[in-house]
Every structure is written in C-alpha cells, then in structure tokens.
Amino acid sequence: MSLESLNSKYNIFITIKRVKERERGKLSGLKFAIKDIIDVKGLPTTAGSRFLHYIPETNAYIVQKILNEGGEIIGKTNTHEFAMGATNTSSLIGPAKNPIDPERISGGSSGGSAVAVALGLADIGVGTDTGGSIRIPASLCGVIGFKPTTGLISTEGVIPFSWTFDTVGFLTKDIKLLSKILDSVLDNKIPLVYQAKRKPKIGLFLFGDDIASKTLLKFVNKLSNYYDIVEIDNRIIRKYASFVRKTIALSEAYSYHKRWFEIQKQNYSEDVKKLLEIGKSILGYEYVESLRIRNVIIREYIKIFSKVDVLISPTTKAPAPKIADVVGKELEYRDILISNTEIFNVVGAPSISIPVEKVDNLPIGLMISGLPYEDGVVLDIAERILGIVGFISNQSN
C-alpha cells in the first residue's frame, strides 16, 4: 500500500511533505517521521489541536540536526493533543491506529511516529517523552522506543508539556540506528558512558500481578541463563514518583497554556481540558514541595545502582486496548499506561522499550533503564538482550 493509503487507514500523519536539505551525511538514506509538536520550517505545527495552526520560520534543534546530516523528513505525525495523553485518541485527525489491529490504540502521545516505523514508512520516528510518550507506543506497536537522558537533546522548537520532564527521543525497528542518531545529533563534549560491563547485573523492578509482568517473567527466566538478575524494590520511589511527576508536569503545562486556555477552553479535548484544570489548581508550595521530593527520589534511584547496572521492567501492564473502550476514558487509561514509565522521567534517566513478548498476539515491551548519562550502557544491554531474543526464537523453531 502507498503512504497515502496507509495514512488513510491508520491516521499516521497530520501533514505529509518530504523535506531534505543535503545528500550526504551520517543520516543519509534514512527517512524520519516527526511528531507534530516539533517544528519543521514551512510546515504547519498543530500539536494535534483543533485551534493551533502556525507555520514556523525555523526548524527545531533536532530537525535541523537531522537535515544537516542528510536525513529526509517525510511528514509530521499524529499526536495526542499537545502531547498530553498516553492513548493518542484525542487528536485533530482522530486516533492513531495500532499497526497490528487498527481497532486498537497506538498508545501515545508519540503514536503516529510509532505507527510510521511499525509499517515501514520511516526508519526513525522522532517523538517526545514526558511520562512515557515514546516507550508506551513502542510497547503497544511492537517497535523500539528510546527516551535518552533528559536534557541530552535540546527541546528548542518543541511545544512544551513540561519543561522539567520533556525529552526528545526516537522510535525504530533497528536498535543500531539509535547509536547512529545519537552520534549525529549530540555535542561531542557530553560525557556519556557508552558500553556496559562484560557481564552486567540486572535489577528486576516494577513487576507485579499484571498480565505483562507474568508474561515477561517467562522471558526473564530465560534471560537469567545469560545475566545475574536480582529483585529490586524502593518504597519511596513507588510511593511518591507519580504524585511528583503529575504535580510538576501539570503545573508547568498550565503555565504554558494559560495564554490560550481561558479563551480557547471549548476547543480543547475533554481529557486535556481536565488535566489543565488540575494544573491550574496546583498551588505554588505544592509545586516547590514536589521539586524537593523529586531530589529525594533521584538520590534513592542512584543508590539502586550500587547493586545493579540497569533495571528491567514491563513497559506497559497490558497490550493495546480497543479504541472503543478508551474513548471517553482517556484519563483512566492514561494513569494505567504511564504507571511504570513515568518513574524514569522523574529521575531523568535513559530508558528504552524493546519488543520481546506478546499477549494474545499483541506486542508488549520490556523496558531497560539506567543512570543518567549512561545512555550507551542502556543501548548496549538492550542490543544484547534483543540478540538473545533472536537466539531463543531460533532455538525454539
């Protein structure tokens, strides 16, 4: 099927337009799908909103880096309105649809970028992750989704949700492309750790009674043949991380949206409107207290790594639900979908979702997370685990 036909079926792109500036570079020959909260010069930025529609005169930092290195942009992708949702059902053009079953959600808010990659339309989807918005659609669509260390890549030219947590990241089917794009867009002066130990120790974190945990534990048992795996728990992180992220993110979201909110309130989707109302109600001392607690959480997180090199967790607690079940209940599903991913936004850590298992023939992701600025360690171990997945699969055939 053509790009236009697939777009009609899956609601992938808000704008289809090819942009290329150079023939040669580190990213030459690669196609990029850009989430429509990220500015591309001359193309409309809508953020999936019914009322926002402006034509930027400059490229976002990440877009200019891609074009400088010979990458080709193929369009602006569907996003949950203003990136403020995990289902991608509240959007100007309707829900981005799951590539395995179009009656199910893609996940969000970077859903269109995930679907573009899953269907082979783009080599790399560019998105943002504030509470799981790259890793959640990666899990539900069966692709790889990587959130780098927060602040590693400039968010200049990206419509903000939360200045504290917003992170530019990537979706792909080929994990080797992630190291390639980081090498292409990062300042060489950033002191990243690039390689894990010969036999790293892995911490089992956030596994519970949900269907994804039960399914992934079968894979983890096989993984224990290759790695030392220890169970990790931290009561402070589990108790406070969600409250802290919600307070900070929604307060900052309202701070950005207040210039529109009172005059355009009727044009916001109901779920986004409710979130902004919560943000409006947050008091200054509550915001400051959350910043203080966040520092405690970060210290607790760093302590964990005296015992392990990375943590593994279920990305989502279940596979993609049906769109019909989600519409009108976006906030309820949002809380479920982000419950594992948001912790790593609070601490600013690199975190990746890789497809290793299925539930009822629908993909679920395994999340691998590390210390800030140890992005290379996370990518290295994720690549090794994907190699083991292939080995196990071949052995069972």
Give backbone dihedrals phi and psi of 277, rounded to 5 degrees, phi first: -65, -40
Per the CB < 8 A criterion, the answer to whether 35 and 96 are in contact is: no
Selecting among 90, 91, 106, 109, the annotated active-site residue is 109
Per the structure block, which two tokens stand in for 310?
A: 């990375």
User: DSSP characters for 154-204?
Assistant: --TTB--S-TTT--EEEEES-THHHHHHHHHHS-TTS-------SS-EEEE
For residue 201, what are the contacts with CB-CB under 8 A and spacing of at least 6? 227, 228, 229, 230, 307, 308, 309
- Which backbone phi and psi does 198 adopt, to 5 degrees? -55, -45
| Residue 35: active-site member | yes
Indicate if 281 belongs to the active site. Answer: no
Nearest Cα residue to 80 out of 6, 41, 131: 131
Q: Are 90 and 133 in contact (CB under 8 A)?
A: no
C-beta separation of 396 from 231 below 8 A? no
Active site residue 109: yes
How far apart are alpha carbons 296 and 308 in whole angstroms? 19
The answer to whether the beta carbons of residues 257 and 359 sit under 8 Å apart is no
Going by C-alpha positions, the residue among 122, 113, 118 that lies closest to residue 77 is 113
Q: Which of 35, 97, 246, 273 is catalytic?
A: 35
Tokens standing for 360?
Answer: 């009822």
Whole-number Å distance between alpha carbons of 384 and 378: 10
Exactly one of 49, 91, 133, 313 is catalytic; which is it?
133
Instruction: Give the catalytic positions in this structure.
Output: 35, 109, 133
